Structure 1
């Protein structure tokens, strides 16, 4: 008679709870092809597929008409992030000089995020109020105009090659001029609103 050992029942290890950022990371990396930065909070790598012009919301709102309807735009607090073609951040100083904003550039509150930079990843569209999912925290980044999976997002971003009407992309020169003008107006309004200090 052969001794038989009863089979040992294996119990699967408990599954790790699904991290909400895993779904977001998957959407950005697989649906859009955008790289993310490891760790928390979830951040998008700039300089590869797109760059970002980071401006005061007041200036960004005035420039929205310069963007194509498919150009993604995010908002975080009092800042608006306009996605532009990769490489635009490197062109910004020269563009501001050419548009005669170079002397005021440090005071314009116009930032460019390009190669080596990153921006906070807004929640995936359809995950806000009414979707049954938690709302983003107050002050967190949100999409004003979300990117569309399956669309060639990069083709809709403002670029220098659009000068002269080539292709369907918005013109980066006109966008930068509009944003710089609006940033300057915001700066003047804020300086005029401050009380004068007499000693």
Structure 2
């Protein structure tokens, strides 16, 4: 329908890992240069290989992040995500003209080519050496999500003059 945002079904060609933008910025180093990444307000949407959303909880447990509360969401089979509008022209102009809260491509997918080979995947999938390693990406994202949470809890209001919740005495 005209005026309605395009919804993309996840779990078919890609899954989505939704993290705080502050945590996702560090993860960009673990992605292939052509890996699509969207920015939606203060959240970053990292595209993963299809089926990865099912693997993530087990990988986080294996990495010993399973018991830690992390601000990340997974979109896999049966979910949908709002597609950012295609970038205007060859060069992105940032967030100019974007509707508040609407997603924008931070790294748009390349025109006319599949990006599946560039998406982070489990090494056992046998996609050769070209795909970024999902395990390393998740370890980076989990550590950054945890740092963001600690930073935000430390920046909270002081309670009875004790504003160092992580200090030892």
1:187 aligns with 2:132: no
Q: Which residue of 2 is the match for residue 149 of structure 1?
A: 111
Q: Does 1:69 align with 2:29?
A: no
Residues 151-173 of structure 1 deviation map (CA, whole Å, 9 limit, x = unaligned)? 22001000003789933010000
Q: Which residue, out of 94, 98, 119, partners 1:136?
A: 98
Task: State which structure, 1 or 2, has the greater radius of gyration over its C-alpha atoms.
Answer: 1
User: Residue 125 of structure 1: CA displacement?
Assistant: 1.6
Alignment partner for residue 55 of structure 1, among 19, 25, 29?
19
After TM superposition, the structure 1 = structure 2 runs for residues 6-45 of structure 1, keeping only pairs within 5 Å, are 19=2, 40-45=4-9
* TM-score normalised over the length of structure 1: 0.72
Which protein is richer in helix relative to its size?
1
Residue matched to 1:14 = none
* Structure 2 residue aligned with 1:172: 134
2:88 corresponds, among 104, 126, 148, to 126
Q: Aligned partners of 1:130 and 1:166: how far apart in 2? A: 31
1:94 aligns with 2:94: no
Change (3 A) 1:130 1:174: closer
What is the match of residue 6 of structure 1?
none
**Greater relative contact order: 1 or 2 (C-alpha under 8 angstroms, separation 6 or more)?**
2
Give the unaligned 5+ runs of structure 2. 161-169
Which whole-Å CA distance do the structure 1 matches of 2:125 and 2:61 have between them? Answer: 17
Runs of 5+ in structure 1 lacking a partner? 1-17, 22-39
| 1:112 equivalent among 41, 50, 74 | 74
| 1:165–1:128 distance in 2 versus 1, CA, 3 Å | closer
- Give SS of 1:47's match: coil
8 Å contact from structure 2 (residues 37, 106) kept in 1: yes
